[in-house]
């Protein structure tokens, strides 16, 4: 196989893997959501993550020769976790705000007079890790598709 064919094969493998990885969070959202109302938001967020974070990071890892199973999984986890953790940071919103909600078994307070409660921190960490795990699953899909298409003749 000549170098032009190898380049095209790598491009197609990368493109297909990114497409498969990008629909993974959408399927996860549909599987675990009670309504489809937020699906458009999920699609926009996934596309932004792919275009702004995943593609540049993949190109950087490729340039450095560091595209491997662990770097892809770690990148997916970080790409899911870091933006969500940053934008959902509970501190500094308001000094008088309070937030109480039903957690499935009882009413709990997450924010009281602008202070995050232990329940609030627990929810924050669980939500951030959940979104990071979705990124990790998408990265695993990317890796499996990318590797399988790279190995085909």
Model confidence pLDDT, tens digit, residues 92-143: 666 677 778 777 788 888 888 778 888 888 888 999 999 999 999 999 999 9
So what's the pLDDT on residue 30? 83
So what's the pLDDT on residue 62? 93
Burial class (CB in 10 A: 0-12, 13-18, 19+), 102: exposed
Q: What beta strand segments (E) does the chain contain?
A: 99-102, 107-112, 115-116
Whether residue 115 lies inside any domain: the answer is no
- What is the average pLDDT across 13-35? 88
24-38, 47-61, 129-143: the lowest-pLDDT one: 24-38
The total domain count for the chain is 1
Which of 11-15, 26-30, 32-36 has the largest mean confidence?
Answer: 11-15
Whether residue 50 lies inside any domain: the answer is yes
pLDDT band for position 84 (cuts 50, 70, 90): very high
Whether residue 112 lies inside any domain: the answer is no
In the block, residue with structure tokens 């109480």? 100
Domain limits at 22? 3-89+132-151
- What is the average pLDDT across 21-36? 84
Whether residue 101 lies inside any domain: the answer is no
Q: Which helix (H) or strand (E) holds 17?
A: helix 3-32
Whether residue 100 lies inside any domain: the answer is no
Whether residue 117 lies inside any domain: the answer is no
């Amino acid at each position: 196989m000549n170098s032009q064919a190898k380049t095209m094969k790598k491009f197609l493998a990368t493109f297909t893997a990114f497409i498969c990885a990008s629909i993974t969070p959408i399927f996860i959202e549909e599987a675990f959501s009670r309504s489809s109302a937020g699906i458009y938001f999920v699609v926009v967020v996934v596309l932004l993550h792919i275009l702004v974070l995943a593609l540049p990071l993949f190109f950087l890892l490729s340039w450095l020769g560091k595209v491997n199973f662990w770097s892809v999984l770690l990148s997916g986890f970080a790409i899911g976790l870091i933006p969500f953790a940053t934008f959902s940071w509970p501190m500094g919103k308001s000094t008088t705000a309070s937030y109480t909600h039903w957690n499935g078994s009882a009413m709990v307070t997450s924010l009281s007079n602008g202070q995050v409660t232990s329940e609030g921190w627990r929810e924050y960490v669980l939500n951030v890790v959940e979104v990071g795990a979705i990124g990790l699953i998408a990265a695993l899909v990317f890796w499996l598709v990318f590797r399988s298409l790279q190995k085909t003749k």
